[in-house]
Amino acid sequence: MTDSRYPYTYAADFIRSYGPVSAEGVVLNRSDASTIIEAIAKALSIDHEELAKKLADAELANNQDPEHGKRQTLRLLKAMRPVTQENRRSHGYCGVYQQ
């Protein structure tokens, strides 16, 4: 693949897409996600680039799946909706929404 974002940017975006979201949007930045990828690779005793490629491939597959896009959009919209007292009680609001 000649895309300069492959594999590291796509791998980081994969991690970010499953990370926490808040009213401001996605909480993890790409640097945070890269640190997580490095830690997982080290814990699993596999090469960082190998893991990044696997995660990047998963992210590219997700990008082709319209249902995945819908789920991610709904997750963000839910996190970004105004917080009311009722929402706090019924959803155990703690400032960050995780799926």
Residue 26: inside a domain: yes
Q: What is the model's pTM? A: 0.75
Banded pLDDT at 89 (limits 50, 70, 90): low
pLDDT for 95 equals 55
The SS3 call for residue 80 is helix
Residue 28: inside a domain: yes
Residue 23: inside a domain: yes
Distance CA 52, CA 84 (A): 39
Residue 1: inside a domain: no
Residue 96: inside a domain: no
Name the amino acid, one letter, at 24: E
Residue 99: inside a domain: no
Residue 69: inside a domain: yes
Q: How many domains does the chain have?
A: 1
Q: Write 77-85 long-range contacts (CB < 8 A, 24+).
A: 79/21, 79/22, 79/23, 79/25, 80/21, 80/23, 80/24, 80/25, 83/23
Work out the burial of residue 48: count CB atoms within 10 Å of its CB; fewer than 13 is exposed, 13-18 middle, 19 or more buried.
middle
Residue 49: inside a domain: yes
* 8 Ramachandran zone, left/alpha/beta (phi>0; psi -120 to 50): alpha
Tens-place pLDDT, residues 5-28: 999 999 999 999 999 998 888 899
Structural domain boundaries enclosing 26: 8-91
pLDDT for 51 equals 97
